[in-house]
Amino acid sequence: MKVSDTSDLWWKSAVIYCVDVETFRDGNGDGIGDLGGLASRLDYLNELGVTCLWLMPFYPSPNRDDGYDITDFYGVDSRLGHFGDFVEVIRIARDRGMRVIVDLVVNHTSDKHPWFKAARSSPNNPYRDFYVWRDEPPKDQPAPVFPDQETSDWQYDEKAGQYYQHVFYRQQPDLNITDERVRDEIAKVMGFWLQLGVSGFRIDAVPFLLQTAGIIDGARKLPDPHGYLRSLRAFAQRRSGEAMLLGEVNLSRAEQNTFFGGAKGDELTMQFDFISMQNLYLSLARGDTRPLAKALRSRPDGSPDIQWANFVRNHDELTLDKLTAAEREEVFAAFGPEKRMQVYGRGLVRRLPPMLEGDPRRIRMVYSLLFSLPGTPVLFYGEEIGMGENLDVGGRESVRTPMQWTDGRNGGFSSAPPSKLRRPVTEGGYGPEFVNVAQQRRDPDSLLAFMRTLVRHYRNAREFGWGAFEILDQPDHALLAHTLTSGHRMTVAIHNFDSQPREANLKLGTSGDSDRLTDVFTGEEFALDGGVVTIPLGGYGFRWLRRTIRDDFALY
């Protein structure tokens, strides 16, 4: 597939880092992370090599869903700072070569939002149609998204005298996307934050945003929901030529392709690759790379101007819903055998290092794979130092614990008494006395140092974000070997999912100008004999190999 060489497609080769502001760094000592604390740590992110900062919701909220229940789309939660602090984060990030994207959560509001308060006051209130109402809930309903918390997508409101729809929690009434005024508000929200300097949005739960199934009046339904998504993309790019839309779309490959806009690529700019992520864990559980290889091969061909976002862990449960029930049980048995490690019957509430029992070889192999896959790598805060989860917190928030900066009180996150913290710091073997930034910055063999190396090599290799991708067949199913090629530049990546040493047999074809592969981490060279070579790997080993062309200067 020929790829456009368009300089403003910055997200094609970005390194995205997700931050929960209230658990990243407390700048004023009240126990809650804030924008001032984040600003003071942007040099650290620059040092890591981050090029795009993704901020989870920082808007005013009752915080009944970790900020995803919003009461003002145009505001900053006073606990986290004010607009001056937000603009300072944007300015400092820009000065250090980082863009900022923010969460766009517009498929629902908080039930404390002024719109909903007005809507429930009277059937004739102008805001009534901002939400979805029924006298009786429908007889046939889909299973709740959070089956341990909700039994229905509909909640009766005494004051309104009707049921309102809520696909997520009952405190989050769904917005009525068929109402033109709602669509206008969403555009205003996007325009507002773009004007303040953000470079795009991570759009929450995109399929639910376009869903109109609960609306009774069929005449008002959107005739083309994807046309609306195209209009959001066009609007964002009119306001800012660099704007990108990163969508959360955990659907089948065919449906994901639809949300990209098919061959035109005129809807979402990027999507998280949930299918490959889930099959990665299945492959890790089995020590067999075939499930992951199959998932990667199933990515649809589309526009060259779209991109996949690759991730190992995110801020939600590690969902396994696209695996079969038997496959899901395999992953549960390997990485989350205790019930408290599982949630909703479909996901895990653990971080990667504890799931892999702290094996540094295996952890580094997985992150090497993340950065070498075609697409854009996304890190969740703390991954770069190997933070663990706190299962005592419970649910999805087990992985949203305070960032561990030092081995001191509260892990250097806050000077407040521990009882004042938004969430407790992780304890035990993954607590800050053992896992923290300060110690790892001084250790050249630390995970942090390794991640910096990965980022550096990734950013120096255009083919990772832009290149053509091919999986090389291997008779040994413990190995995944693939190539990424852009112009005359080729990188071969090999990963061993087994604890025992293996050999990869590569058939790369012949080239009049090429005669060797060079390991970008060690400098070791391997001669190509007619385009064929055997590469040894240690247990859980990995290699990135540059196919070197005579007289070509490779910046590694």
**What are the Cα distances from residue 22, in Å, to 42, 79, 112, 407?**
15, 9, 21, 20
The Cα–Cα gap between 44 and 536 comes to 35
The closest of 450, 451, 418 to 432, measured between CA atoms, is 418
Orientation angle between helical segments 274-286 and 325-335, nearest 10 degrees:
60
263, 245 Cβ separation under 8 angstroms: no
Q: DSSP alpha helices (H): ranges in 196-344? A: 206-209, 225-239, 253-260, 274-286, 290-297, 325-335
Q: How distant is the alpha carbon of residue 393 from its chain centre? A: 22
Kindly calculate the radius of gyration of the chain based on its CA atoms and give it in whole angstroms.
24
CA–CA separation, 492 and 251 (whole Å): 30
Catalytic residue among 77, 204, 266, 397: 204
Closest CA to 28 of 85, 95, 93: 85
Is residue 204 part of the annotated active site? The answer reads yes
- Which one is catalytic: 69, 103, 248, 317? 248
**Strand 16-19 relative to strand 52-55, pairing:** parallel
User: Which residue's structure tokens are 């696909």?
Assistant: 167
> First and final CA of the chain: distance in angstroms?
26
Q: Do residues 507 and 531 make contact, with C-beta atoms less than 8 angstroms apart? A: yes
Among 204, 198, 206, residue whose Cα is nearest residue 98:
198
d(CA 273, CA 311): 8
Is residue 209 a contact partner of residue 103, using CB atoms and an 8 Å limit?
A: no
Dig out the tokens for 287 from the structure: 């020590």
Tell me if residue 248 is catalytic: yes
Among 545, 470, 464, smallest CA distance to 504 is for 545
Q: Where are the beta strands (DSSP E) in 154-237?
A: 154-157, 162-165, 200-203
Active site residues: 204, 248
